[in-house]
Amino acid sequence: MGTIYLIASLGEVYAERSGVLNLGLEGMMIMGAAISFIFTIAYGHLVAILMAALIGVLMSLILAVMAIHLRLNQVIVGLALTLLGLGLSGLITFPDIRRRILSSLNPSLPESMLMIQQAEKLPEIPIPLLSQIPLIGKTFFTHNILVYTSLILAIIMWFILFKTRYGLIIRSVGENPSMADSLGVNVFLVRYVTVVISGLFASLAGAYFFIGFHPFWREGVTAGRGFISLALVILATWNPLRAILGAYLFGGVETFQYRLQLFGLGAQSPYFLAMLPYIITIITLILISIESIRKRIGVPASLGTPYSREEA
Amino acid sequence: MEELVHLHGIVKRFPGVIANDNVDFTLKRGEIHALLGENGAGKTTLMNILYGLYKPDSGEIYIEGRRVEIRSPKEAIKLGIGMVHQNFKLIPQHTVLENVILGLKDVGFIIDSKKIGEEIKKLAEQYNWKIDPHVFVWQLSAGEKQQVELLKILYRKAKILILDEPTSVLTPQECKYLFYALRMMVKEGRGVIFITHKLDEALAISDRVTVMRRGKVVATKNTWETDIKELASFMIGRPVLFNIEKNKTYSDEELVIVRNLKVFNDAGVLSLKNVNLTIRKNEIFGIIGVTGNGQQELAEVLAGLRRPVDGEIIIDGIKIVDPNPQKMIELGVAYIPPEPMKYGVAPNLSVIDNLFLKAYRYRPYSKKIFIDIKKMEKKAEEIVEKFNIVCPSPSIKVRSLSGGNIQRLILARELSELIGGVRSKLIIATYPTKGLDIAAAEFLNKSLIEYSKLGTSILYITEDIEEAMMVCDRIGVIHDGKIVGTFKPGEVSVEKIGLMMAGADASISS
């Protein structure tokens, strides 16, 4: 469960470190889920993951053009993309439309496959030997491939961000773009790359959530998890390693909630989840606009501010 | 001597002005060349052209005898040109090392901070700088930050160093270290272009001086062949008076008394720790110090813009409780804020509106819920005339006025007795001459002295020691939220004042 949050927030850490807030995370995530739903039925898991990645890249390019090039307000553009993703994912999975999409994608699909609400789940890969350990073996070492990949990814992304030249460039662009520009760094390119990374990761997280964890489609299936990932970025103070801890904490709490329900305890409130996006947007806005808080928790100094050479 | 830089016939036009009009300039290997001129003379434009930030409309650039075109800072860096901007371009949250190597390609994929740290340390030691490459930039003093800026350039093996007003944030001692380091750098075969508007600095540091005025080069001279009078007349086009006649009578009556004042700054840190001061009637009391030592907060408290945490303020016998700007205005406190364009005027409103920003709510300009625009217009014409504010009409927007005129407008608003015809009792002037040319600064200082003669007390905050000596009757040095010494001009050497500004233990009182 925590893996979804981890993947999405890793990408967002990069975008925000370079000074761009990607509030479209939820939209990109649910599009990743919807696309992976359709393509898993049509062509299987591998194609589904690739197409989910592609949709994330496309959506984040829209954000990049609007927020970096046209210097529009990042909050508004991001929310617009979230709304777009929620609407579009509902549209393409609407039974009648989905049926047409599927039959044109793969005409050889049997009729029964065109209408199912469920996709095949990703297989779990037990790690040889380790998974044989009694008690903890099954819990820790029997997962699908994305879980392992995401953990390694978090470490690699931390290393790049804090120990290499490219990481320094990303962090500097987020702190002081005009200075980076004066030293010959291409501020726009850096921000495009990080925003695309955030979109790519968000839609992959969505795909993983759907085919790896919960392969039953319903509208709005990601249920605010993109926004939780946004909150996680702040909680992790823009550090990929700390994001691991936060992600599994969030994921753990959520799983625990499901377990409680199985025993009939504490019904999960749909209202709380419905409220979440707005609460998190408001909290993010407050955090990035109060100067003293910005300094204390180390918000990248140019977060939310488009860069242009003339105004610098 | 070999020529490192040769600029020939540089012309740069901006809408409505010629910033550089056929400028010739050379920099030789091994020399420090001061580029002297008032604000707006075209110095910075010229250097921005050399650094690739602007493209000249015509003219040629030669670097070490080779004709080049410099289209971006990146290309300038490649040609061995480095520039230290007036406002530091550093990232406070990053370490010295990270700031130095940002954007460099040859540091490899993984940053070897141990090896590079050693290199930076060695480089710094050549100039007697003790900088730890692994500390964060926010932990450094202004002087050290400037050293990091220089290290950034030197690490890129620059031969041509451009420094834009490098001493504006430094104490006199830090200036000395800088000058010493610059001497070493040119001895190693580099050339330094030193942009300044301070005459004494140009004389102290340079081998040659080029003076610019209104976009043109007025003269280039060997420093040993010229003097301060000549340079000043080049700079403003006429001889200048360096002393303002004061000759006034002093009063013993204490108008402003501040006791044990403590104030927080915006970050929630105590920036005035324990300030005690008194200002007498007729007196101009100067506060000098390095920017950021609490002088701004002091001015804001007295203007009612900031609440004290503790302490006592008495103005003309009245104890101030719970200050706010309106209360202070009604008490007769006038405030000339720093950065006039930002804090002093509403740029999109007219000259008239800006003149009456304080007086609009009082008689005779206010009639219950209406304001008497006719009366305001009439009075505005009078004031514009008296304070010599150059504008086509008082109803023009303030943003189109020059800096000197805006400062005169603020002066007029604060001094022209608009509220009930009563003269201000206390004027707080924060960096009032910053950014003004010599003539405009002279006018402003003279006006303040005239007012003090009429019985007004003035708190004059500046970072320019010379100016404080010239204008003030008594001077207090502020360091780290405390007044560390008070004296009359001439009693204490500039040297010693510098030490006090830097926080060295040298408290003196008179």
B111 touches chain A (CB under 8 A): yes
**pLDDT tens-digit series, residues B19-46:** 888 999 999 999 999 998 877 788 888 9
Alpha-carbon span B289 to B303, nearest angstrom: 19
Residues in B touching A292 (Cβ below 8 Å): 266-268
For B221-274, give the DSSP string. Answer: EEGGG--HHHHHHHHHSS---------------EEEEEEEEEEE-TTS-EEEEE
- What confidence tens digit (pLDDT) does each residue in B91-123 have? 888 899 999 988 787 777 888 888 899 999 999
pLDDT at B370: 84
Cβ–Cβ below 8 Å for B268 and A165? no
More reliable by pLDDT, A265 or B65: B65
Q: CB contact, 8 Å: B89 with chain A? A: yes
Report chain B's mean pLDDT, rounded to a whole number. 84
Are residues A179 and B90, on separate chains, in Cβ contact within 8 Å? yes
If one compares A260 and B207, the residue with the highest pLDDT of the two is B207
Which fold does the domain B251-332+424-504 belong to in CATH? Rossmann fold (3.40.50)
Locate the chain A residue with the closest alpha carbon to B149: A179
pLDDT of residue A194: 96
Q: Which run of H or E residues covers position B280? A: strand B270-280
pLDDT score recorded for residue A11: 94
Is B93's Cβ below 8 Å from some Cβ in A? Answer: yes
**Domains of chain B: which residue ranges?**
3-236, 251-332+424-504, 350-422
Closest CA to A276 of A93, A82, A14: A82
**Which residue from A minimizes the CA distance to B111?**
A164
Residues of A in Cβ contact (< 8 Å) with B85? 182
- Give the best residue of B79, B93, B164 to mutate against chain A (max A CB count within 10 A): B93
Report ipTM (2 d.p.): 0.74
Both structure tokens of A86: 């929620």
Averaged pLDDT for residues B409-432: 82
Per-residue pLDDT at A21 exceeds 70? yes
Q: Check residue A311 and give its pLDDT.
A: 43
Average pLDDT score over residue span B51-64: 90
For residue B254, what are the β-bridge partners?
B280
Q: What is the mean pLDDT of residues B361-368?
A: 78
Nearest Cα of chain A lies from the Cα of B343 at a distance, in angstroms, of: 19
Tell which A residues from 241 to 300 touch B, by Cβ distance under 8 Å: 291-292, 295, 298
Looking at chain B, the whole-number percentage of residues with pLDDT higher than 70 is: 94
- Which of A163, A166, A168 should be substituted to probe chain B, the one whose Cβ sees the most B Cβ atoms within 10 Å? A168
CB contact under 8 A, B73 and A163: no
Which residues of chain A make contact with B152, given a CB cutoff of 8 A?
Answer: 183
CB contact under 8 Å between B111 and A168, yes or no, is yes
Cα–Cα–Cα angle for B285, B287, B288, rounded to 5 degrees:
140
How far is the alpha carbon of B73 from chain A, nearest alpha carbon, in Å? 6
Evaluate if residue B63 carries a pLDDT over 50: yes
How far B344 CA sits from the closest chain A CA (Å)?
Answer: 22
Distance of alpha carbon B4 from alpha carbon B331, whole angstroms: 60
State residue B24's pLDDT score: 93
Chain B partners of A179 at a C-beta cutoff of 8 Å? 89-91, 102
Search chain A and give the residue with CA nearest B48. Answer: A182
Q: Using 50, 70 and 90 to split pLDDT, how confident is the model at B202?
A: confident
A166-170, B140-144, B231-235, B480-484: least confident range: B231-235
- Tokens read off for B386: 């008296």
B102/A168 Cβ within 8 A: yes
Is A183 within 8 Å of B266 when comparing Cβ atoms? no
Among residues of chain A, what percentage have pLDDT more than 90?
A: 35
Distance CA B159, CA B29 (A): 9
| Residue-level pLDDT at A300 | 82
pLDDT number for residue B243: 60
Q: At what angle do helices B373-386 and B403-415 cross, to 10 degrees?
A: 120
- Which range, of A99-103, B447-451, B502-506, averages the lowest pLDDT? B502-506
**Does residue B94 sit at the A interface (CB-CB below 8 Å)?**
yes
| Contact check, Cβ <8 Å, B94/A165 | no
Residue-wise pLDDT tens digits, B251-291 = 778 888 888 889 888 777 788 888 899 998 888 999 988 77
Average of per-residue pLDDT across B306-317: 88
Q: Which residues of A touch B107 (CB under 8 A)?
A: 165
Q: How far is CA B37 from the centre of its chain?
A: 14
For residue B108, what is the nearest residue in chain A, using CA coordinates?
A165
Answer whether B102 sits within 8 Å of A295, measured CB to CB: no
Q: DSSP readout, chain A?
A: -HHHHHHHHHHHHHHHHTT---TTHHHHHHHHHHHHHHHHHHH-HHHHHHHHHHHHHHHHHHHHIIIIIS---HHHHHHHHHHHHHHHHHHHHSHHHHHHHHHHH-TTS-HHHHH-SB-PPPPPEEPTTGGGSTTHHHHHHEE-HHHHHHHHHHHHHHHHHHHBHHHHHHHHHHH-HHHHHHTT--HHHHHHHHHHHHHHHHHHHHHIIIIII--B--TTTTTTHHHHHHHHHHHTTT-HHHHHHHHHHHHHHHHHHHHHHHTT-SPPPHHHHHHHHHHHHHHHHHHHH-HHHHHHHT--TTTT----TTT-
What pLDDT was estimated at residue A257? 64
CATH 3.40.720.10, applies to B3-236:
no
Binding-face residues of A in 152-181 toward B, CB within 8 A: 163-166, 168-169, 171-172, 175-176, 178-181
What is the interface size between A and B, counted as CB pairs within 8 Å?
66
Q: What is the mean pLDDT of chain A?
A: 82
- Alpha-carbon gap, residue B85 to A148, rounded angstroms: 48
A234, A25 Cβ separation under 8 angstroms = no
Query: A166 and A18 in contact (C-beta within 8 Å)?
Result: no
Q: Is the pLDDT reported for residue A158 higher than 60?
A: yes
Regarding predicted confidence, which is higher, B478 or A212? B478
Identify whether the C-beta of residue A268 lies closer than 8 Å to the C-beta of residue A257: yes
What's the confidence (pLDDT) of residue B294? 87
Give the residue from chain A lying closest to B89, CA to CA: A179
Contact B472, B246 (CB under 8 A): no
Asked if B74 is an interface residue toward chain A (Cβ–Cβ < 8 A), one would say yes
> A128 or A80: which carries more pLDDT confidence?
A80
Let me know if A159 is exposed, middle or buried by CB neighbors in 10 A (0-12, 13-18, 19+): middle
Residue A156, pLDDT above cutoff 90: yes
Query: For residue A312, what pLDDT band results from cuts at 50, 70 and 90?
Result: very low
More confident residue, A142 or A216: A216
CB contact, 8 Å: B90 with chain A? yes
**Across A61-70, A134-143, B425-434, which has the greatest mean pLDDT?**
A61-70
CB A209 within 8 A of CB A7: no
More confident residue, A69 or A54: A54
Say which of A163, A179, A291 has its CB closest to residue B89: A179
- Give how far B329 is from chain A: nearest CA, Å: 29
Contact B271, B263 (CB under 8 A): yes
Nearest to B91 among A165, A172, A298 (CB): A172
Does position B449 have pLDDT exceeding 80, yes or no?
yes
Give pLDDT tens digits for A270-284.
Answer: 566 566 666 776 777
Q: Give me the pLDDT at residue A127, please.
A: 64
**What's the maximum distance between 2 C-alpha atoms anywhere in chain B?**
75
DSSP letter assigned to residue B434: T
Check whether A267 has a pLDDT greater than 60: no
Residue B469 · residue B490 · CB < 8 Å: yes
Closest CA to A237 of A146, A171, A152: A171
Nearest CA in chain A to B54: A310
Which residues of A are less than 8 Å from B91 in CB distance?
171-172, 175-176, 179, 301
Interface-testing mutation among B47, B91, B138, with chain A (most A C-beta atoms within 10 A) = B91
The residue that leads in pLDDT, A264 or B309, is B309
Nearest-CA residue of chain B relative to A175? B91
Q: Residue B11: its pLDDT value, please?
A: 92
Q: Do domains B3-236 and B251-332+424-504 have the same CATH topology?
A: yes
CB contact under 8 A, A182 and B89: yes
Q: pLDDT at position B269, please? A: 79
Put simply, whether A186 touches B (Cβ < 8 Å) is no
Q: What angle do CA B344, B248, B275 make, to 5 degrees?
A: 55
Residues of B in contact with A298 (CB under 8 A): 93
For residue B380, pLDDT beyond 60: yes
